[in-house]
Homo-oligomer: A and B are copies of this chain.
Amino acid sequence: MKAHVYVTLKRTVLDPQGQTIHGALKRMQYTGVEEVRQGKYFQLTLRGMMDASDARAQVERIARDVLTNPVIEEFTYRIEE
């Protein structure tokens, strides 16, 4: 079983990395892009015998306690069977 966790800066937090990429894209004539936000992506491989609700609870706890800085970041996740 795999879990995919996506961590992004909160909407209200400035994202200088994303702005730098956006600036580069504009200079390279990619004019179709209005905004870029950069985040982190984690792929967790879970032990097979875990049931789905256990997996969900454990991934949520890991994402909240370890992978995300709750002051400036938020996360979403997806479990893949």
Binding site for B on A (CB under 8 A): 6-8, 18, 21, 24-25, 28, 30-47, 50, 54-55, 58, 61-62, 65-67
Quickly give the copy total for this chain.
2
Tell me whether A34 and B47 are in contact (CB under 8 A). Answer: yes
A42 touches which one: B30, B36, B61, B65 (CB < 8 A)? B36
Residues of B within 8 A of A54 (CB): 32
Residues of B within 8 A of A61 (CB): 30
Tell me whether A66 and B33 are in contact (CB under 8 A). Answer: no
Tell me whether B8 and A32 are in contact (CB under 8 A). Answer: no
Given A24-B66, A66-B21, A39:B43 Cβ within 8 A: yes
